[in-house]
Structure 1
């Protein structure tokens, strides 16, 4: 079954990291990704640009376009993983591995995922 692991953290805290700290965290996460790839369980992985680069389009007859999401929250969605796991327990263990590797106080949200492109490739 496919799962999305949504990565939340304080954007301000992550943006304040030194290049060395960022490189260290990315290397630790990369090590987990290598293991998942070897097991053929890793799909797309993305690191999102800061919310200051976001554009929001509100639904309606005449959609309204605004800069940023303007979410009133301390944690923002900073990235995501798509993984293929045999069970929810396996997906939870994978998210725990990523959480340990990230070295931050953020959260990893796990959701079952259904692709909208029938027959499309995960990898």
Structure 2
């Protein structure tokens, strides 16, 4: 089963792309998943300052800058992983470095 991992953190203390690229814990997490062919997709997202939100209300399209919700935590990236079950997805999420400083939300993917 596929699971989406939403990687959430406090953007004000988020490491730079260069810091992430040199983080051995992050590299090990990704490599482990790649070796098992479990990492199906993933990417880091641009900062919330670059976000655009779209809503349609009574036929009118409303576009605003920034995220949908005002919050300290933001979705900074995602990974789609293939796991046997939720227990394995929890283990994968717990191994992500952000689980120790932010939160990793797990969502099953409709297939």
Bin for the TM-score computed over the shorter chain? 0.7 to 0.9
Give 3-state SS (helix, strand or coil) of 1:110's partner: strand
**Structure with more of its chain in strand, by fraction:** 2
Matched residue, 2:8? 8
Normalised by the length of structure 2, the TM-score is 0.86
Provide the C-alpha distance between the structure 1 equivalents of 2:4 and 2:16, rounded to a whole number of angstroms.
Answer: 28
Across the aligned residues of Structure 1 and Structure 2, the Cα RMSD in angstroms comes to 2.0
1:24 Cα offset (Å): 3.7
Residues 70 and 83 of structure 1, relative CA distance in 2, 3 Å threshold: closer
Residues 22 and 56 of structure 1, relative CA distance in 2, 3 Å threshold: same
Matched residue, 1:32? 29
Gaps of 5+ in 2: none
1:22 Cα offset (Å): 3.9
1:104 Cα offset (Å): 5.2
Matched residue, 1:71? 69
Equivalent residues of 1:8, 1:79 under 8 A apart: yes
Q: 1:54 aligns with which of 22, 42, 51?
A: 51
Residues 12 and 84 of structure 1, relative CA distance in 2, 3 Å threshold: same
How many residues get paired?
Answer: 110
Give 3-state SS (helix, strand or coil) of 2:84's partner: coil
Provide the C-alpha distance between the structure 1 equivalents of 2:104 and 2:9, rounded to a whole number of angstroms.
Answer: 9
Residues 64 and 55 of structure 1, relative CA distance in 2, 3 Å threshold: same
Gaps of 5+ in 1: 116-123
Q: 1:41 aligns with which of 29, 38, 43?
A: 38
